Chain A
């Protein structure tokens, strides 16, 4: 009850009671989520991207509800605490236009990182480690499984291509994004997109967006993904440096980690199942790479025409 009392004292919220301790509370104004932060700078970053990306996109991120004195967070013991709206109803992927506009708003906010530079400078973009993959793959390579041989060969080519682009674009700022960018975080309140962000340390680069696109593809189709990119491009240009940086991240063979994770040679049956999952995972990501590169090619062709 101590926390509830504190919240009642600090916030303009009434009729508070626990729904799912310690994260979800019921209030007279609906369900609210409580987030706990042990690190102040990370929290400040999360406050900022939520505030920035709420501007005019027609979607609403789960911004921090302000206290009676207008603060976005309160100190609670040795942690910080924030209160957010909460709902369970999924938004789905039908409204491509709204999603596209929201992602564009996120990206616009993510590339304008003038504040908190010291904090953000400490964050390094994730690096793909082919040697680590090769070590993981070593014990399976002797069997010469066709899917592995092909995928590793292709991974090397894609890695080279991706590095070449990144190298060319090295002077351009990478966006800083919420790590848990996901279709599942898109919820519906009235008929608008309510986006529930995460709490993790942010990620520099387009990897969160790549994961989002894989998820999008799983739930929709290549043509829907292309429409999504077209919608994003209307509000955040993908036809210049930032588009190339996104392409570089999509081409980077990140899925090789996940593919290798599927393998298990403890029995023949498990090995066969693992290889099937390996192939599925590889193909799924291949569709992503193909769809995204096709979209960029189509864009280029249109410009050339």
Chain B
């Protein structure tokens, strides 16, 4: 339902597109804008000036390199692709109604598109010891600190005469969680050593926020990606890890399904051995479980014990599926050789807290 207030609030933004809304509907962070000229999706975001220009550049670049399965941005009448109003940034896209017939195919289309983008933007970078060293040390330190926090939580829980159901659940899986942590660290160290030895590192344009929600189908049934606000040049594993970690939380998801999706991806970009190791490392690290513990420690009054336990159990179940998936991908065939290119990355983001569930 559109109110006069809505029209006034969004009027200054829609003015840039010469749109006069007949109706505005809220769909998450997107407004559905119904006008005489058609129906549009207005996305609200928080971006700095640099992020805005990078975001616009990414969308344009994807089109230039031949990837057209991106929800296009409409330019304003002044030729800009975003509108800045106070601290908020807005951009306008066509509105695609959700088509449930395509829901089942979503993961395949998503992974296929991701593979295409990665293949089109793949570059083998000149090896920079400093960059790799910094990235490795940063992540290893963060993981060790997190591990230490979890060990402390465990010790405190063990000293209690009566443990809470949450603590009890956590403790009964503690050794398994720690085994996965150690596995993640071991794999990360291996990745680092291989990088040092092989002196190679590949980067692609990562979507940065891969999710089923960021794929929609146009009226002809063609899947389009959206929300490139967090796009970044990084290892292809960044996107894959975010995707598979999320996917593992779906009830029906299985290691076999994950393996066939990874095979689909590898038709576009066959992974190098060290990249496969890095993927296993990212996925093995039980960050989602640790986040559930954080939530328990900080917001235990906001949720019931049963809710907290359910959340933790669901994450542990996902962790087990992830472990099976990692076992499956370790046995993958060796990848095809690379072509040489010449660009140098300024930094490698090999992990990001925001990517975790």
Residues of chain A having any CB pair with chain B under 8 Å: 12, 29-30, 51, 54-56, 58, 60, 63-66, 70, 72, 85, 189-192
Contacts and interface: CB of A to CB of B under 8 A. Distances in A.
Contact of B11 (A51, A58, A191): A191
Interface of B: 7-8, 11-12, 15-16, 18, 49, 75, 77-79, 84-86
29 contacts: A12-B77, A29-B18, A30-B18, A51-B78, A54-B78, A55-B49, A56-B84, A58-B12, A58-B85, A58-B86, A60-B12, A60-B16, A63-B78, A64-B78, A65-B77, A65-B78, A66-B75, A66-B77, A66-B78, A66-B79, A70-B79, A189-B11, A189-B12, A189-B15, A190-B8, A190-B15, A191-B12, A192-B11, A192-B12
A-B interface, 9 closest residue pairs, ranked by CB to CB distance from nearest: A190-B11, A29-B18, A66-B79, A192-B12, A63-B78, A56-B84, A65-B77, A70-B79, A191-B8
Nearest to A67: B79
Given A56-B84, A58-B85, A65-B77, 8 more contacts: A30-B18, A56-B86, A60-B15, A63-B78, A191-B8, A191-B11, A192-B11, A192-B12
Contacts, number: 42
Contacts of B79: 66, 70, 72
Contacts of A30: 18
B55 to A, nearest CB: 16
A58 B7 CA distance: 16
Given A29-B18, A65-B77, A65-B78, A55 B12 contact: no
A55 to B, nearest CB: 6
A3 to B, nearest CB: 19
B164 to A, nearest CB: 48
Nearest to A50: B78
A113 to B, nearest CB: 19
Contacts of A72: 79
Nearest to B88: A56
A60 B86 CA distance: 12
B53 to A, nearest CB: 12
Contact of A190 (B12, B49, B77): B12
Contacts of A191: 8, 11-12
Nearest to B49: A55
Contacts of A54: 78
A12 to B, nearest CB: 8
A60 B49 CA distance: 18
A280 to B, nearest CB: 39
B140 to A, nearest CB: 40
B4 to A, nearest CB: 10
Given A30-B18, A55-B84, A58-B85, A190 B7 contact: yes
A63 B76 CA distance: 11
Contacts of A64: 78
Which of B11, B16, B77 has the most chain A CB atoms inside 10 A of its CB?
Answer: B77
A64 B186 CA distance: 59
A65 B77 CA distance: 5
A12 B15 CA distance: 15
Contacts of A63: 78
Nearest to A193: B12
Contacts of B16: 60
A43 to B, nearest CB: 16
